[in-house]
Structure 1
Amino acid sequence: MPLRTHTTTQDRPASLRSSRTWDTGVTSIAEARDAVAALLAQVRPAPGTRSTQDAQLVVSELVTNAAKHAPGPCALRLEVPAGGLVMRITVTDTSTDPPRRRPPDPGRVGGHGLHLVTMLCSDLEVTTLPRGKRVAATVPLTGERAG
């Protein structure tokens, strides 16, 4: 299975980072959620808190979108800067198409992920790259909803 995992804590004293790369597309969304819980367990003693669940939902939605709409390799980077007040989630994929919010439709199955992401994040940034895009979301870890 083409998966590489990297965890570092040396760049900045209290900054925690974790990354995953998939060479042939995402094989397990649960693996991405587990990476969030593992990193936040180093910051907070109770990984079942709402902020952990919010971060897991955001990573789940962003990685699912990459798997669904961008064939080929993708990468996930997680960072909790010094102080542990936010988690920065970055997903890089091979599609240059930016994520688009669909009009709200309670009767529709699917297509609600970006609404959830923007509701839970204090910042969402999309950067077009020469061979894809990078979607970076900042999730507050204070237990309060961003939106």
Structure 2
Amino acid sequence: MQVGYALGGDDGCIAEARHHAADFLTRLQGEHDLDVSPRAMDLTQLVVSELVTNSRKYAPGPVLVELRIAGAAVEVVVWDSDPTVPEARVADPDRIGQHGLEIVKVIVQSLDIQRQSVGKRITARIALSDTCTSKDSC
């Protein structure tokens, strides 16, 4: 169970990415009776939004997004053309903005960033159930 799509990088692509994520999980709930908690729905949309925002901000060209079910989790995969591996900045309550990767790292089960021959691929794993904490291996 997976879906993939390309985003052009225009102003509406972040909202479009969130819509695709919600639609994917909603369809799986209806068509495959997959149990997706409201929290997982919200977190998936947040992770998609943050990763696509970073790609749009720092990488020229299209952004590719793949959503897939892997066991008891949804994996959000985002590819962009910039090979630079992002790093979460040190927490700073006085800094405005640039907290996206900090947030993502806290709410996902795992985050994997791989340089590709062109660009990079970021894979975030989010538990579908509320019975799993963000770092559980369920």
Give the alignment's TM-score, normalised by structure 1. 0.80
Q: Which residue is 1:50 aligned to?
A: 39
Give how far 1:47 is off. Answer: 7.2
Does the CA contact (< 8 Å) of 2:37 and 2:129 recur in 1?
A: no
Structure 1: runs of 5+ lacking an equivalent? 1-15
Shift of 1:120: 1.2
2:121 counterpart residue number: 134
Equivalence for 1:65 = 54
1:25 Cα deviation from its structure 2 partner: 2.7
Is it true that 1:111 corresponds to 2:98 in the alignment?
Answer: yes
Tell me whether 60-69 or 101-110 shows the greater mean CA deviation: 101-110
- Aligned residue identity for 2:63: C
Secondary structure of the structure 2 residue equivalent to 1:87: strand
* CA distance in 1 between partners of 2:37 and 2:23 (Å): 11
Does 1:37 pair with 2:22?
yes
Q: More helix by proportion, 1 or 2?
A: 2
Structure 2 unmatched ranges of 5 or more: none
Alpha-carbon distance in structure 1 between the residues aligned to 2:37 and 2:97: 25
Letter in 1 for 2:114: T
- Do 2:36 and 2:129's aligned partners in 1 also have CA atoms closer than 8 Å? no
Give the CA RMSD over aligned residues. Answer: 1.9
Distance in 1 separating the partners of 2:4 and 2:10? 13
1:25 lines up with 2:9 in the alignment:
yes
For residues 47-99 of structure 1, what are the alpha-carbon distances to aligned partners after superposition, in whole Å with 9 as ceiling and x for unaligned? 78111000110011000000001011220000013x5x210000000001001
1:94 to 56, 60, 81: 81
> In the aligned structure 2, how far is the partner of 1:113 from the partner of 1:142?
23
SS in 2 for 1:127: strand
Cα distance change, pair 75–35 in 1 and its aligned pair in 2 (3 A) = same
Contact 1:26-1:63 at 8 Å conserved across structures: no
Provide TM-score, normalisation by structure 2.
0.85
Give the % identical residues: 34
